[in-house]
Amino acid sequence: MTTDRYNAFAVALHWAMAVAIIGMLIGGFVMTSELLDKSQRFTMIQWHKALGVLMLLAIAARLVLRLATHPPALPNYMMGWERTAAGLGHIALYALMLIMPITGWLMVSSSQYGLPTLVFGWFTWPHLPGVAADDAVNGAAKALHYYAAFAFIAVIASHLAGTVKHIWMDGHALLYRMWFDTPKRALLGLGGVAASVLALAVLPLGGAASVSTPSLNAPAVSVADAAPGAYVVDYGASTVSFSGIHAGDQFRGTFSEWSADIQFDPGALADSRADIRFALSSASTGNPFYDGTLPESDWFDIANHPEGRFAATSVVAGDQDGTFIMEGDLTLRGKSLPLRLPFTYDVVEDGTAIVKGSVIADRLAYGIGENSDATAEWVSQEITIDIDIRAARQSDDESDLSS
Ligand code: HEM
What distance in angstroms lies between residue 104's CA and the mean position of ligand 1's atoms? 5
Whose CA is closest to atom 40 on ligand 1?
A: 32
Coil, helix or strand for 181? coil
Coil, helix or strand for 267? coil
pLDDT at 197 over 90: no
What distance in angstroms lies between residue 398's CA and the mean position of ligand 1's atoms? 60
Coil, helix or strand for 344? strand
Q: What's CA 13's distance to the chain center, in Å? A: 28
Q: Which of 321, 320, 325 is nearest to 343 (CA)?
A: 325
Report DSSP state, residue 97.
H
Residue 116 beta carbon below 6 angstroms from any ligand 1 atom: no
Contact in structure between 351 and 393 (CB atoms under 8 Å):
yes
Distant-in-sequence, close-in-space partners of 289: CB < 8 Å, separation ≥ 6: 42, 46, 115, 116, 118
Give the position, in ligand 1's atom list, of the atom nearest the Cα of 51: 27
Distances (CA, A) of 302 to 135, 183, 332: 22, 55, 10
13 versus 179: the higher-pLDDT residue is 13
100 versus 190: the higher-pLDDT residue is 100
Q: Which amino acid is at 23?
A: G
Q: Which pLDDT score is estimated for 206?
A: 41
Contact in structure between 63 and 94 (CB atoms under 8 Å):
yes
H/E element holding 262? Answer: strand 258-263
Interval 90-99: pLDDT, tens = 899 999 999 9
Assign domain 223-393 one CATH number from 1.10.3720.10, 3.90.79.10, 2.40.50.1020, 2.40.128.110: 2.40.128.110
Report DSSP state, residue 78.
-
pLDDT at 125 over 80: yes
Best substitution site from 29, 44, 48 to test ligand 1's pocket, by max atoms within 8 Å of Cβ?
48
- What is the band of 200 on the pLDDT scale with cuts at 50, 70, 90? low
Q: Which pLDDT score is estimated for 173?
A: 65
- Rounded CA separation 38/46 (Å): 12
Q: How many residues does the chain have?
A: 403
CA angle 115, 118, 123 (to 5 degrees): 140
What distance in angstroms lies between residue 401's CA and the mean position of ligand 1's atoms? 54
What distance in angstroms lies between residue 28's CA and the mean position of ligand 1's atoms? 5
Considering the chain, what percentage of its residues have pLDDT values greater than 90?
41
Helix, strand, coil fractions of the chain, as percent rounded to 5: 40, 25, 35
pLDDT at 236 over 60: yes
Question: What beta strand segments (E) does 59-151 contain?
Answer: 117-119, 123-125
Q: Which of 286, 287, 367, 305 is nearest to 295 (CA)?
A: 305
* Angle between helix 183-202 and 38-68 (nearest 10): 110
Residue 50 beta carbon below 6 angstroms from any ligand 1 atom: no
Which residues does residue 277 pair with via DSSP β-bridges, in sequence order?
A: 259, 309
Q: Which of 163, 179, 162, 50 is nearest to 116 (CA)?
A: 50
What distance in angstroms lies between residue 201's CA and the mean position of ligand 1's atoms? 20
- Rounded CA separation 279/305 (Å): 9
If one looks up domain 8-208 in CATH, what number appears?
Answer: 1.20.950
- Rounded CA separation 186/222 (Å): 58
Q: Domain coordinates of the chain in residue numbers? A: 8-208, 223-393
Interval 239-264: pLDDT, tens = 999 999 999 999 999 999 898 888 88
Best substitution site from 24, 45, 145, 372 to test ligand 1's pocket, by max atoms within 8 Å of Cβ?
145
pTM score: 0.71
Average pLDDT over residues 282-297: 89
Interval 352-366: pLDDT, tens = 889 999 999 999 999
Q: Which of 343, 363, 362, 365 is nearest to 354 (CA)?
A: 343
- What is the band of 196 on the pLDDT scale with cuts at 50, 70, 90? confident
Q: Which pLDDT score is estimated for 395?
A: 56
Interval 76-89: pLDDT, tens = 776 777 778 778 88
Residue 148 beta carbon below 6 angstroms from any ligand 1 atom: no
Residue 24 beta carbon below 6 angstroms from any ligand 1 atom: yes
- Rounded CA separation 213/343 (Å): 34
What distance in angstroms lies between residue 230's CA and the mean position of ligand 1's atoms? 58
Q: Which pLDDT score is estimated for 84?
A: 84
Burial-class residue 38 by CB neighbours within 10 Å (0-12, 13-18, 19+).
middle
Contact in structure between 341 and 357 (CB atoms under 8 Å):
yes
Q: Which amino acid is at 397?
A: D
Average pLDDT over residues 312-341: 93
